[in-house]
Structure 1
Amino acid sequence: MITKLAGLETIGVLTSGGDSPGMNAAVRAVVRVAAKYDLKVFGIRHGYHGLIHNEVKPMKNNSVSNIIQRGGTILKSARSQEFRTVEGRMKAAETIKKYNIDALVAIGGDGTFTGANILSKEHGIKVIGIPATIDNDIIGTDETIGYDTALNTALDAVDKIRDTADAHERMFLVEVMGRDAGFIALETSIAGGAELALLPEELMDIDDVKSQLKNMLKNQVRSSLVVVAEGDESGGAIKLAEQIRDDFKKYDMRVCILGHIQRGGSPTARDRVLASRLGAAAIKTLMEGHSGVMVGIVNGKIKITPIKVAVDRKKDLDHSLIELAKLLR
């Protein structure tokens, strides 16, 4: 067992940015593993906004009982414009000093990590990042917390939409989350048997979209389904429908925007285990003397990545999956 690191007595934990299923499981792991090392833990509500405005409370094992199955985050989340200022970060650092917090565990995506990195540089605060975003767009980990749940939520919706599309000979344009990343759209399209997926990483002009759909529909007389990432160049599913409707008058075209339903719900087993592993790894990584890094899992093993790298570089889509989607159309 790792021995207690000198100078590390108290940690703070926060969730920030968009919520994702499994954040509670990560908080639970942080609190419970920290307790094993006799570390005090303070939970910070509403992310960096709460750090600025002193929304801090002590957390013990019973604070995180019965939360592993819950979506959202018991610590709540928020986006803080004030934290973007030097003055705001000074207030946050003063709160950290007030509670004698030696290190901060930040659970979230690239915006959360950017804030943690700046806070560390300006005020010398130890920070560890845990990647939690349904977009799955952070390098240094095969999956981010919440992605598997969001993917399965989207797939469940697509399966249901496919039934009604088939019953009424309709064309459905289903918009999923992923403003800058097409992970949900790509894997949902493959698992849901979609005729086409429009991804921000694979931009297509509207004429190409029409051409591909026409080619795929030549021998199909019943229904079709297109998965659209919200950040696609076409402007999302509503804009796409406006642009192609006249070319597909045979079909009763409908748009379905899944939206924030993908953020909610009880996390899958996969996300609960992932979050538990990363929460525990965050504490162990701090005990080993690391700071300014993110913990992730690559090929089943814990890996640490500098937060700056995680923020500056985006994870690429698996191009073999893109090719697979094309082969299966």
Structure 2
Amino acid sequence: MKTIGVLTSGGDSPGMNAAIRAVVRSSIYHGCKVIGVKQGYHGLINGFMDEMNLSSVADIIHRGGTILQTARSEAFMTEEGRKKALYALQIFGIDGLVVIGGDGSFKGAQKLTELGIPTMGVPGTIDNDLRYTEYTIGFDTAVNTVLDAIGRIRDTSASHGRANIIEVMGRHCGDIALYAGLAGGAESIIVPEIQFDIDNVCSKLIKGRNRGKLHSIILLAEGVGGALDIGKEIEEKTGMETRVTILGHIQRGGSPTSFDRIIASKMGARAVELLLEGKKNRALGIKGLETIDVDFEEAFNTTNKFDEDTYRLANILSI
């Protein structure tokens, strides 16, 4: 293992730069050359690659996004596209590849392993939807971004006596809504994993208003859908003025928290060590703050279990 490549793929997440930095500096520390692949698998197919050095990753640990950029690649999903990617890897002499991204990115990495290139997957996605690991890079930052928004929206909603629905990211996974809702004192948390009852939501709002509460916050994961319709129904049933705020891609940006920087650094460095140990087809993760690695197949097949205990606690504390 003389040359290690690194790329970021799929949606960006805060902490990806910290992971890139760890891969580059760990590789150089162990005497390896490092090639940065720009624009994910699209860049891999097209040979958008440059050698990286210590200066390449100076002053990036605190920056959001990814200096390598990211892009979707339909071409890589084809056999012909993957053969082009393999050819590019061979041209640049890349012996092993670290892929930073989500589920789809890992599946692409697994395909490259099948073609003979050892790969490692570092989980970079704000959704926290890879259940083999307790945390993914960017999740903690996204939750804190939502918490900041909750505080700002609470200020204005208290002035007007409004109910506010805040829609956050999470198409299939409600973790951002759950953790931000619990930490932000939301009255209701609506996630795709749990069937919600609009009458229960309204009942909480009415009881809160009757005891003098000036505002109410409802966290809604985007996967549930219909935020505007839900807001309209709440207004009709409670008589409370209801506003909807969709945070969107603001949740992906910003400087990563210390936690995201730390786990990104740990997993990035460990990915390099595993390649040097002759391992392949592994997904890095965090369990009890310890760095773990599992086979890609195990990572894909780990049950997507929702944290019902935390959801129950949030309901108890929001009475």
Q: Secondary structure at the match of 1:243?
A: helix
Unmatched tracts of structure 2, length 5 or more: none
Q: Secondary structure at the match of 1:35?
A: helix
Tell me the equivalent position of 1:302: 291
What's the TM-score once normalised by structure 2's chain length?
A: 0.95
**Is 1:321 aligned to residue 310 of structure 2?**
yes
Structure 1 letter corresponding to 2:284: V
Give the distance between the partners of 1:213 and 1:313, measured in 2 at CA. Answer: 37
Aligned to 2:145, which of 141, 150, 153?
153
Does structure 1 conserve the Cα–Cα contact (< 8 Å) formed by 2:97 and 2:118? yes
**Is 1:88 aligned to residue 81 of structure 2?**
yes
**Identical amino acids, percent of aligned pairs:** 48
Deviation for aligned residue 1:82: 1.1
**Is 1:240 aligned to residue 230 of structure 2?**
yes
Tell me the equivalent position of 1:144: 136
Tell me the equivalent position of 1:21: 14
Deviation for aligned residue 1:215: 5.1
Deviation for aligned residue 1:248: 2.4
Structure 1 letter corresponding to 2:227: A
Give the distance between the partners of 1:245 and 1:170, measured in 2 at CA. Answer: 10
Does structure 2 conserve the Cα–Cα contact (< 8 Å) formed by 1:106 and 1:112? yes
Deviation for aligned residue 1:219: 3.1
Does structure 2 conserve the Cα–Cα contact (< 8 Å) formed by 1:12 and 1:44? yes
Change (3 A) 1:175 1:72: same
Q: Residues 256-276 of structure 1: CA distance to partner in whole angstroms, max 9, x if unpaired? A: 111111100111111111111
Q: Secondary structure at the match of 1:323?
A: helix
Structure 2 letter corresponding to 1:187: Y
Does structure 2 conserve the Cα–Cα contact (< 8 Å) formed by 1:10 and 1:41? yes
Q: Secondary structure at the match of 2:195?
A: coil
Q: Residues 267-310 of structure 1: CA distance to partner in whole angstroms, max 9, x if unpaired? A: 11111111111111111111222110111121122211111222
Does structure 2 conserve the Cα–Cα contact (< 8 Å) formed by 1:114 and 1:308? no
Does structure 1 conserve the Cα–Cα contact (< 8 Å) formed by 2:232 and 2:242? no
Deviation for aligned residue 1:188: 0.8
Tell me the equivalent position of 2:269: 280
Aligned to 1:38, which of 31, 34, 37?
31
Deviation for aligned residue 1:322: 1.0
Q: CA RMSD in A?
A: 1.5
Tell me the equivalent position of 2:174: 182
Tell me the equivalent position of 2:108: 115
Q: Residues 55-101 of structure 1: CA distance to partner in whole angstroms, max 9, x if unpaired? A: 01101111111111110000000111111111111111111111111
Query: Aligned pairs, how many?
Result: 318
Structure 1 letter corresponding to 2:228: I
Unmatched tracts of structure 1, length 5 or more: 1-7
